[in-house]
A and B are shown apart, each in its own frame.
Chain A
Amino acid sequence: MSRYPVRVTAVLLAALALVALPAGSHLTAQGKGTIKIATQSPLSGGQAALGEGIKLGTQLAVEKFKGNLEKMGYKVELVPFDDQAKPDVGVANAKNIIADKDILVVIGHLNSGVAIPSSEVYKEVNLAMISPANTNPTITDRGYASVYRVCGRDDVQGVVGSEFAHATLKAKTAFVIHDKTTYGQGVAEFFKADAEKKGIKVLGFEGTEEKSNFDPIITPIKAKNPDLIYFGGIYEQAGPFFKQAREKGVKSKFLGPDGMDSSDLTKIGGKAVVGMHYTSVAGPVSVYPQAKQFAEDYKKKFGKNPEPFAAQAYDATAIAVKAIEATAKGGKAPTREAVTAAIRGVRHTGITGSVEFDAKGDPKKALYFVLQVVSDNPEKWGDNKEVKRLVIAAPSK
C-alpha cells in the first residue's frame, strides 16, 4: 500500500516532464517567440466546403503577409481549429485557444450560432475575433470591443432579399423556411418582416432540422403554390430541399441568403437550383478585380477554386497582421489587448474592397450582392451571374 503513492508520483513526474519539455524549448528558441493566428470554421461535416475555404484563405494570407513580423524576429504560425459547425465544439475550441497565450487573433467562424457563444469566451481575455462570414446582427450588436467582422449583416441582407423578391421577381406570395439556427432563422425573420411590409403575402413560416426527407413539408407548399420560396439556411440542407421540391413539381421560384453560396449547392441540388437567386455578402471572387491574383495563387496552391468567404478570410487576416505589426513596433511584445485595440484603427484596402470598422466592429460600408446560379456544374460556381450590387452602410442603431 505504501508504495502506491510513490508510483503515482513517479508517473505524474514523468508526465510533467513530457509536458514541460516542449514549453522549455520554446523559451530557448531563437528570436522573440511565436505569434499564432487561429482559425475556427467547420473543417469536417456537411459545411466543410466553406469552412475549409476560410482556413485556406487565412493560410494564404499568413504566408503572404508574415514577412514584416518575421523580420522583427517573430515566428508566425497558423493554428486551424475545426468547430464542426456546432456551438459546443466551437466553445470547447475557444477555451483551448484562450489557453494558448501565443494566439493573438482568431479568424472565424462560418456559423453565427457558433460564433456568438465562442466570442463570449474570447471576450474574457480580450482576444480579437475577426469574422469573415458571420452575418447575424447579434455578433456586433453586443458591443464587444474584441469582435469584428468584414462582411455585411443579416438585417440588411434579409431586406436586400425581400426588396429583390418584390421589385425584380414580382413575387406576390412567399413561403419562408429556415433551419432553426441563429443565422438561418435570423435572416429568414428579417426577410419575412420586410416582405410583409412590402405587401408580399407570407403563406407560411416553417423551421426544420430535417436533412433528408422534406416530403411532408413540400406537400402543403405545393398545394399553396407560392410565387417564391425563401430558405433561410445553409446549402447542405437547402440543396436536397430544392431538389425534392422540383422533383415533386413545385414551380415556385427559389431565393436564399448567403448560406446558399457554395459550389456544393449545385453538387447537391443539380438542375433544380439552376436559375435560382441568392443574396450574399461575399460575391464570387470574379467580381473583385483585385482578387484575381488571389484566385490564381489559391488554385495553384490548393488545386481548387476559392469558395466564397475565402477572400474575406484573406482580408481579415491581412487586417489582423497589420494590427499585430502596429503593436509590435518599437520592439514591444504584442499583447492581445493591444492587438484588439489596434484593429479598430486599421484602414485596409484588401482584395474584396476597403474595410474600416465602426464603433461596434461592423465595416462602415459593406457590399451586398444578388446572384443567380448559372450552371449545374459545381466547377462553374464562380461564374454565377451578378444581378445586383449594393453598397450599404451598417445600421446605426
Chain B
Amino acid sequence: MDYPLLVGIFPQVLLDGIILGFMYALIALGYTMVYGVLEFINFAHSEIFIVGAFVGVEILLSLKGAGLLETLPWPLVLVLILVAGMAGSAALAVSVERIAYRPLRAAPRLIPLISAIGVSFFLQDLIRLVESVWRNAFNLVYPTMDVLNERFELTSTLDVSVKSLVVIVAALLMLWALHAIVNRTKVGTAIRAVAEDQAAASLMGINVNRIISLTFLIGGAMGGAAGVLFGVQYGLINPYSGFIPGLKAFTAAVLGGIGNIPGAMVGGIVLGLLEAFAASYLSLLTGGAFGAEYKDIFAFSVLILILIFRPKGLLGEVVRERA
C-alpha cells in the first residue's frame, strides 16, 4: 500500500468533505426546521434547494448576456446571486406551504407527506418545462468566473480554490445567522415555542400560521443559498440535480437528530466527511476491489450503525428504556 499517498491526500479529502458537508448542513436545516414545527418531512425541499441554483444561474447568464459579468466586481455578483437564490427559494417554500401543506394541517401526518412527494415531482418537471422552453437546455452550466477558480497551493497535495473558500465562508455566515435568529431574537423564541407546543404557543398570543410560514421562509432561504453554492462549486445543474443531495441532506438531518438545528449542522458535516473519505480511500485501501461507487453504501452503513446505537441521532436526546 502506498502510505505516503494515503497520508498526502488526507488534508485535501478533509477539505472536500467539509465543503460537501456544509452544503448538506445548509439543506438539512430546511428539513429539520420544518420537522421541528410540523413533524412531517418536507420532501419538496430538494426542489426548493435546486430552484435556488436555477435562480443563480439565470442571473449569471443574464449578466453574461449583458456583458456585465466581467465588469462588475465578483464579490458583488456573488452576493447578488446568493441573495436572489435565497429569495427565490424562500418564496417558493412559503408558497408550497400555503398551497400544499396548510390545507392539510389537520389531516393525519401521512397526508401532507404524500402531498410533499407530489409537489417534489411537480416542481422537477415544472423546472424542466420552464428551462426547456426558455433556454432550450437540460443541463445548465454556471458561467465561469476566473477569479473563483484561482487556487492557493498550500502543499503539493493540498490546495484551496477561491470558490471553496467562498462556500465555506458563506456557509459559516449562514449557519451563524440562523443560530443567532433562533436563539437570540423574539421570532426565534416564537419558533421554538411553536415547535414545543403549538396549542400552548397560540394561547400565548403567537400567530402560529405566521411562525410556520416563517419557518418555511428561513428553511427555504438556507436551501436556496445551498443551491447557489452547489452551482458555483460544481458548475452544472439540471432539474433533477436536487434529488440526491436532498436525500443525503435529509439523511444528515436524521443523523444529527431530526428537529434539532445544531444536529442538522453536525449531521451534514459528518455525512459529507464520510462520503468524501469513502470515495477517495475505498479503492486505495482495498486495492481497487471497492471503488468510489461504494461511497454511498459505506456512508449509509455508518448511518445505520449510528442510528442503532443512538436512535434519536447524534445530538437528539437519548431514548430511555421504558420500564
Indicate if A240 sits at the interface (CB-CB under 8 A). Answer: yes
For this complex, 18 residue pairs linking A to B, each with C-beta atoms less than 8 Å apart, are A46-B138, A205-B291, A206-B283, A206-B291, A207-B291, A210-B292, A212-B230, A212-B235, A213-B234, A215-B20, A216-B16, A219-B12, A223-B8, A239-B236, A247-B161, A248-B161, A249-B159, A264-B139
In contact, A268 and B141 (Cβ under 8 angstroms): yes
- Which residues of chain A are near B241, meaning CB under 8 Å? 211-212
A-B contacts at CB below 8 angstroms, number: 102
User: When chains A and B are docked, how far (Å) is the Cα of A264 from the Cα of B137?
Assistant: 10
Q: Which of B9, B20, B144, B234 contacts A219 (CB 8 A)?
A: B9
- Interface of A, secondary structure class, is helix
User: When chains A and B are docked, how far (Å) is the Cα of A232 from the Cα of B159?
Assistant: 28
- Which residues of chain A are near B230, meaning CB under 8 Å? 212
Q: A223-B157, A247-B149, A248-B159 are in contact. Are A206 and B293 (CB under 8 A)?
A: yes
Q: B299 → chain A, closest Cβ, in Å?
A: 11
Instruction: Report B268-311 CB contacts with A as 1/0, cut-off 8 Å.
Output: 00000001111110011000100111010000000000000000
In this complex, the interface size class of chain B, counting residues with CB under 8 Å from chain A, is 35 or more
In contact, A223 and B9 (Cβ under 8 angstroms): yes
Indicate if B64 sits at the interface (CB-CB under 8 A). Answer: no
Q: A219-B16, A247-B161 are in contact. Are A208 and B293 (CB under 8 A)?
A: yes
User: When chains A and B are docked, how far (Å) is the Cα of A82 from the Cα of B157?
Assistant: 45
In contact, B138 and A243 (Cβ under 8 angstroms): no
- Which residues of chain B are near A270, meaning CB under 8 Å? 141, 144
User: When chains A and B are docked, how far (Å) is the Cα of A263 from the Cα of B1?
Assistant: 41
Considering the complex, which residues of chain A in the window 263-277 have a beta carbon less than 8 Å from any beta carbon of chain B? Answer: 264, 267-268, 270-271
- Which residues of chain B are near A219, meaning CB under 8 Å? 9, 12-13, 16, 280
Q: Which of A46, A220, A243, A244 contacts B280 (CB 8 A)?
A: A220
Interface residues of B, Cβ cutoff 8 Å to A: 5, 8-9, 12-13, 16-17, 19-20, 128, 132, 138-139, 141, 144, 149, 151, 153, 157, 159, 161, 230, 233-238, 241, 275-280, 283-284, 288, 291-293, 295
In contact, A216 and B279 (Cβ under 8 angstroms): yes
- Which residues of chain B are near A210, meaning CB under 8 Å? 292
- Which residues of chain A are near B139, meaning CB under 8 Å? 46, 236, 264, 267-268
Total residues of chain A contacting the partner, CB 8 A: 36
- Which residues of chain A are near B151, meaning CB under 8 Å? 247-249
User: When chains A and B are docked, how far (Å) is the Cα of A215 from the Cα of B163?
Assistant: 13
- Which residues of chain A are near B20, meaning CB under 8 Å? 213, 215
In contact, A222 and B157 (Cβ under 8 angstroms): yes
Considering the complex, which residues of chain A in the window 199-227 have a beta carbon less than 8 Å from any beta carbon of chain B? Answer: 204-213, 215-217, 219-220, 222-224
